[in-house]
Amino acid sequence: MLKVTLYTSLRHRIAVLACAGLLMIAGVLLGRTLDIDVLPDINRPSLTIMVESQGLATEEVESLVTRPLELSLAGMPGVTRMRTTSDVGLSIVTLDLAWGADLVTARQQAAERLGAAASQLPAGIVPQIQPISSIMGEIMLVALTAEHNSSPRDLRTLADWVVRPRLLSVPGVAQVTVIGGEVRQFRTAPRLAMLAGLNISLADLERAAARFGVNAGGGLVADAGTEFTIRAVAARTDAAALAKTVVAVRDGVPVLLSQLAEVDEAAKPSRGSAGFDGQDAVILSVQKQPKADTRAVTALVSDAIKDMQSSLSDRTRIHVAFQQADFINSGLTNVRDALIAAIAIVAVVLFVFLGNVRATFISLLAIPLSVLVAILSLASKTSSAACVKTEHPRSRGALSRSCSERRKKSARVFSTRPSSSCLCSRRCSCSRVSKAGCFPRSPFPTWSRSRRAWRLRSPLRPFSACSCCRRAAALRVVRH
């Protein structure tokens, strides 16, 4: 077989060179578009639901939040396992889906069930389905630092309202999580004696605070053929304006919020902190979308950071603490250096032993050609795996049946009448051969030394197409 391959390649050298050139061009083109990541995405599809319940202990979170969510999500189609975690003020529900499940459909079904379970949860608690991401989705950590005269509250406000929305607008980014800093909020400490003396309840105090900073519309007013829009706009949204909010009216005198409680700005109680280079900072964790190219998304995020840095003040700096693309670039550099070193060593060894530049060059072409063929195989496997993952479970059986029917039809077209000496003429485990008969083995060329020419010979003419009879035929040839 090797001799036949060599002689055929030498006789058709132009075709062989053309095929090798086409393979190299296709490998280079596909290699430039091939997605490269640190590790393959081996995690199964899953949904993560997070619920924040401020002020509740672990036991209350388990009984009031986690348990109703478990009952509402139980029995959802495509779910193989459900995992829940209850902590102080936080509940996490993870749904592991079957391989090949459609995430979009699963998210829609989960959203419908969560909407139905909203009445069973405490007031003000809203479950949130986290964006689609993967285990290796955290591609970058961005640190936001400032000088010592800047407060952590201002830094966190800048990260929440400026940096995070800008990073979320980058194509390929799924989620940006902010860690550290102080979350700005208004704190109201009621004076219970004043509330009891004026007959004002805490509910009245909450309703007055909820109306603060809300814009309202007053409709339209027509005057001389012109319509005017009436708006009620909150002039200020600071603590001083909140303190002047009217809570109630007693004997024609408005009672302000500052008379009933102490109003000031304070930081939300934090359960963690972040730092960079030995100083307090705000860390933003950037996660990519599934099937997104890590290096391309990292480049886009870096460009967005440079644009934001130019618009920020000199006291605020944005640093890249970690990026996953560095590991990928380092791995590609190592592979390139290893290939160059291997080609150089092989070239020296071949030239020393062969003593021919032409033979050495031909042998060296096998190294890049094999690498490019491997890239082609990886690209084909990736595309086929993507087709299997996106295929609907119900349509997989129909697709396999159509493929098998097409295969049987082609077998009937090219089949011949089974002979008496055929190994599978009577009965065979292969359904295709038992219905369609046996394929005649095509003659293969052999080199005749006496005639100095190619000769066609077939040692076993009635050759079966199924694997079981092929093994038996091979044994029969060996015995003869």
The string of DSSP codes covering 154-191 is HHHHHIIIIIHHHHHTSTTEEEEEEESS--EEEEEEE-
What is the average pLDDT across 26-36? 80
400 within some domain: no
Could you tell me if 278 and 316 lie in one domain? yes
Q: Read off the pLDDT of residues 129-176 as tens digits, 9 standing for 90 and up.
A: 988 877 778 899 999 998 776 788 888 989 999 999 999 999 999 889
Residues 250 and 287 in one domain: no
- What is the Cα–Cα distance from 130 to 438, expressed in whole angstroms? 57
| Enclosing H/E stretch for 30 | helix 13-33
Please check whether residue 279 lies inside any domain of the structure.
yes
Q: Report which of residues 318 and 472 the model is more confident about.
A: 318
Q: What is the pLDDT of residue 382?
A: 58
Nearest Cα neighbor of 126 from 111, 145, 136 is: 111
302-to-34, 39, 308 alpha-carbon distances in Å: 21, 22, 10
Domain for residue 402, yes or no? no
pLDDT for 106: 92
Tell me if 433 sits within 8 A of 424, measured CB to CB: yes
When pLDDT is cut at 50, 70 and 90, the band that residue 450 belongs to is low
**What's the mean pLDDT in 336-348?**
88
Asked if pLDDT for residue 273 goes beyond 50, the answer is yes
Confidence of residue 358 (pLDDT cuts 50, 70, 90): confident
pLDDT of residue 222: 85
pLDDT at 133: 77
pLDDT at res. 447 = 55
Residues 315, 361: one domain?
A: no
210 and 255 belong to one structural domain: yes
Lowest mean pLDDT among 33-42, 247-256, 304-313, 416-425: 416-425
pLDDT band per the 50, 70, 90 thresholds, residue 392:
very low
Q: Are 160 and 34 in a shared domain? A: no
Q: Are strands 226-232 and 253-256 parallel, antiparallel or unpaired?
A: unpaired
Number of folded domains that form the chain: 5
**Rounded average pLDDT over 303-324:** 90
Q: How confident is the model at residue 40 (pLDDT cuts 50, 70, 90)?
A: confident
Statement: residue 266 has pLDDT above 90: no
Q: Bridge partners of 283?
A: 143, 179
Residue 477 corresponds to which tokens in the numbers above? 């040839």
Contact in structure between 276 and 168 (CB atoms under 8 Å): no
Q: Say if 404 falls within a structural domain.
A: no
Residues 20 and 124 in one domain: no
In angstroms, the CA 188 to CA 47 distance is: 38
Instruction: For residue 443, tell me if it sits in a domain.
Output: yes
What is the pLDDT at residue 45? 86
Whether 251 and 284 share a structural domain = no
Q: Is 291 in the same domain as 149?
A: yes
- Given a cut of 50, whether residue 6 has pLDDT beyond it is yes
CB 160 within 8 Å of CB 153: no
> Mean pLDDT lowest for which of 172-186, 194-208, 318-332, 391-405?
391-405
Domain, as residue range, for 97: 46-129
The side-by-side arrangement of strands in the sheet containing 173-179 is 173-179, 282-288, 138-146, 316-323
pLDDT per residue as tens digits for the range 86-128: 988 899 999 999 988 888 899 999 999 998 888 889 888 889 9
Is 253 inside any structural domain? Answer: yes
Judged against a pLDDT cut of 60, whether residue 443 lies above it is answered with: no
Task: Assess if residue 146 is contained within a domain.
Answer: yes
Looking at the structure, do residues 333 and 436 belong to the same domain, yes or no?
A: no
> Which domain-ending residue is among 242, 267, 292?
267
Q: To the nearest whole number, what is the mean pLDDT of the chain? A: 78
Distance CA 435, CA 98 (A): 37
Q: Model confidence at 412, in pLDDT bands (50, 70, 90)? A: very low
- Asked whether residue 122 falls in the same domain as residue 156, the answer is no
Who wins on pLDDT, 251 or 440?
251
303 and 263 assigned to the same domain = no
Q: Is residue 331 part of a domain?
A: yes
Q: 269-288 as b/e, with b when 16 or more CB fall inside 10 Å? A: eeeeebebeeebbbbbbbbb
Residues 50 and 122 grouped into a single domain: yes
Question: What is the model's pLDDT at position 178?
Answer: 92
Question: What is the pTM for the complete model shown?
Answer: 0.67
Residue 448 banded pLDDT, cuts 50, 70, 90? low
The SS3 of residue 297 is helix
Query: Which of these, 431, 435, 436, lies nearest to 468 by C-alpha position?
Result: 431
Q: Which residues pair with 231 in a beta bridge?
A: 217
Short-list 120, 34, 38, 108, CA closest to 77: 108
How much of the chain, in percent, has pLDDT values that exceed 70? 79
